[in-house]
Amino acid sequence: MTETPDTSWRAVTDLAGKSVVITGCASGIGRAAALQFASAGATVYAGDRNVADGEATIAQIRAGGGRGEFIELDLGDGATIDAFVDAAVAQIGGAPDIIANVAGLDRVMPFLENTPEVWDLLAQVNYIGPVRMIHRFLPDMIERRKGKIVMVASDAGRVGSMGETFYAGTKGAVIAFTKSLARETARSGITCNCVAPGPTDTPLFNGTIPEGKLRDALIKAIPLKRLAQPIEIAHTIVYLSTPATDFMTGQVVSVSGGLTMHG
């Protein structure tokens, strides 16, 4: 007699025994997501270029009884991406069950004030670096015929954003990449989904849009009249990594307080 699988909410959101590679773990959404993955039972392999704060995230995970390892990662440097992948594969024994790419970089300025150096940096950190990392992990995931990939983009990549023209372009590229990869990997049992945050109370946002009229106007435009907290984005990232979303792929989920509403 075939045993009936446990489809309770607790069971389908349990990540015990799973491994997750996450980028951007030192602060903001990445840190919140790393902590939530650990609380769901996953072993976290976390990367960031900020070594001290990245290690502090892992220390917090361990202090709470979770399991995690920090591996230095700079998505702007191809050599360190390769070293990160090699180290993660060695520690996990293969590709992870889950990849959560959260790291990102922004520069707020009029488009005509952009320089090629700004374009190169944003393209590398927000798009090319994550693509390179996934390209390295993916063959083993396909061979195992399972895995979940969650990319963090931005609603700027869906609707555009004044002063963030090139940043929005890189995030639009992340969205298109996620959808295309979802089509390519679906037959291998891999799901690929994207989270598109709106304005969120993170060091990145606070560093690019400080207190002032622009910030006040932005918050006023949000139907829920506040910024998101990192944990609110993290919950969606982790949810898309659980068995609860096994039949969901190629989707973009906006978490923006209603600032953008897509049909």
DSSP secondary structure letter of residue 252:
E
Q: Which residues are annotated as catalytic?
A: 167
pLDDT band (50, 70, 90) for residue 133: very high
pLDDT at residue 262 in the model: 76
Q: Which run of H or E residues covers position 254? A: strand 252-255
| Cβ atoms 135, 239 nearer than 8 A | no
Average pLDDT over residues 98-115: 96
Express each pLDDT in 143-168 by its tens digit.
999 999 999 999 999 999 988 999 99
Instruction: Note if the pTM is more than 0.75.
Output: yes
Q: Which of 198, 199, 195, 197 is nearest to 253 (CA)?
A: 195
28 vs 214 pLDDT, higher one? 28
Q: Sheet harboring 19-23: ordered strands across?
A: 67-72, 43-48, 19-23, 98-101, 147-152, 190-197, 252-255
Mean pLDDT of the chain: 96
Calculate the alpha carbon distances from 226 to 31, 198, 231 in Å: 21, 11, 14
Where are the chain's structural domains? Answer: 12-200+229-254
Structure tokens at 96: 């992870």
Q: Indicate the class that CATH gives domain 12-200+229-254.
A: alpha beta
